[in-house]
Amino acid sequence: MFIEQAYKGNNIWWRVLITTLLTAGIFVANFIAYFMMSKKQVDDAYKSMSDIPNNMSLIINLSPFIFLLGFLFLLVRVLHQRSVLSLTTSRKSIDYKRILFSFSLIILLTIAAFAISYSMDHSTILWNFNPMKFAILFIISMLLFPFQIGLEEYLFRGYLMQQIGIIAKNRWFPLLITSVVFGLFHSANPEVAKMGYEVMVFYIGTGLLLGIMTLMDESLELALGFHLGNNLMAALLITSDYSAIHTDALFKYSGVENTTDTLNEMLVSMAIIYPIILFIFAKRYKWTNWKERLFGKIKVV
């Protein structure tokens, strides 16, 4: 009944339009600006960002999400007249153990995958540890990444999933649309410009994974934990010159990016790791009736 939670609020069209435009505006503006800029302008913009000290750049990039997430919660409460709880789960309360389990699982899998890769070939992976800079990075990451992933999850897998679902009256359409839009809104990331639009398959695939978690578990908790753990590892474990955000991570990739190899690694991750994650969740939380939860019709409440 996760999508049906939207029926607890006022869903008149102009309220939905205002909330969507005001909270997704930063993604839309970034998306439009990126495609209106020439390649030279894009390269100059990325260079300007790279000239800013890493930790300061991280603060600049993540701080707006504090206000945007708060604004989304305010609009849901005031305009739609429903609770943030209904945006989070179909259960009576938020299950923080689910968030912690999902968070821990992705961190363990990421470290394990990195350890295997490092043991096989670490010629292009440099030890980048600076105690002071890393300590500051860790504090900034722990304080600000929850807001960044919170906005993305509450906006895409929460608000938009629910609103599109009650309009389409089914589950598969909001799952597909929010996953594609989630991927498209990451198209301005530096790694996309560096490696090509093929990398968008990974972002859309990750959106699908998070959407499936949400629909099968009837809540955002697993997606929130996974997304937070994934982004923290991306910031703290290893960085590169073409990462979305440069950080003072533990390691740095110094090699020349091989687009084919990177895409193959992403596809392997999606084809093997993602199903394993869903299998673990399915067993732990006893998921059943996959067809109905992913493709079933929405009941009008």
The DSSP-derived string for 41-52 is HHHHHHHHHHTS
Tokens of 270: 């999606």
Q: Do the domain assignments include residue 64?
A: yes
The residue ranges of DSSP E strands in the chain, in sequence order, are 125-127, 238-239, 251-253
d(CA 271, CA 266): 9
Q: Do the domain assignments include residue 128?
A: yes
Q: Do the domain assignments include residue 204?
A: yes
Reading the chain (301 residues) residue by residue, the pLDDT tens digits are 899 999 999 999 999 999 999 998 877 777 777 677 776 776 676 667 777 888 998 999 899 999 999 999 999 999 999 999 999 999 999 999 999 999 999 999 999 989 988 898 888 888 999 999 999 999 999 999 999 999 999 999 999 999 999 999 999 999 999 999 998 888 777 666 666 677 788 889 999 999 999 999 999 999 999 999 999 999 999 887 766 677 899 999 876 666 666 677 778 878 888 999 999 999 999 999 999 999 999 987 7
Phi-psi domain of 191 (left: phi exceeds 0; alpha: psi -120 through 50; beta: other): alpha
Q: Do the domain assignments include residue 301?
A: no
Overall number of domains in the chain? 1
Q: Do the domain assignments include residue 300?
A: no
Nearest to 250 by CA among 104, 146, 114, 144: 114
Q: Do the domain assignments include residue 200?
A: yes
Exposure string for 86-100, b = 16+ CB within 10 A, e = fewer: bbbbeeeebbeebbe
Residue 67 is part of which domain span? 3-295
Q: Do the domain assignments include residue 9?
A: yes
Q: Do the domain assignments include residue 120?
A: yes
